């Protein structure tokens, strides 16, 4: 399994959640959605919740939040 997938999986297994926004800052993963998809293909039951956050222009945007 790739290092990025391992980092994401360990992060989620520890009870934390992950978004595309914090995946790079916390785990060094730029393409988190692709890694999440790969983990799902490997059989991990990763759930998605859509949340609203502010972007750098103070606008509301929706992003996926993943958790086990």
Distance CA 26, CA 59 (A): 23
Position 11 scores a pLDDT of 98
Position 18 scores a pLDDT of 98
pTM over 0.85: yes
21 confidence band (pLDDT: 50, 70, 90): confident
In the block, tokens 């039951």 appear at 45
Mean pLDDT of 16-45: 96
Contacting residues for 45 by C-beta, under 8 A, at least 6 apart:
68
In the block, tokens 């958790």 appear at 67
**What is the sign, positive or negative, of the torsion defined by CA atoms of 6, 9, 28, 48?**
positive
- Residue ranges per structural domain of the chain: 3-67
């Amino acid at each position: 399994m790739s290092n990025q997938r391992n980092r994401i999986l360990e992060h989620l297994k520890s009870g934390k959640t992950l978004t595309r926004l914090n995946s790079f800052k916390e785990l060094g993963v730029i393409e988190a959605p692709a890694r999440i998809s790969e983990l799902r293909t490997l059989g991990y039951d990763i759930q998605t919740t859509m949340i609203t956050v502010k972007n750098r222009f103070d606008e509301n945007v929706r992003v996926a939040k993943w958790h086990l």
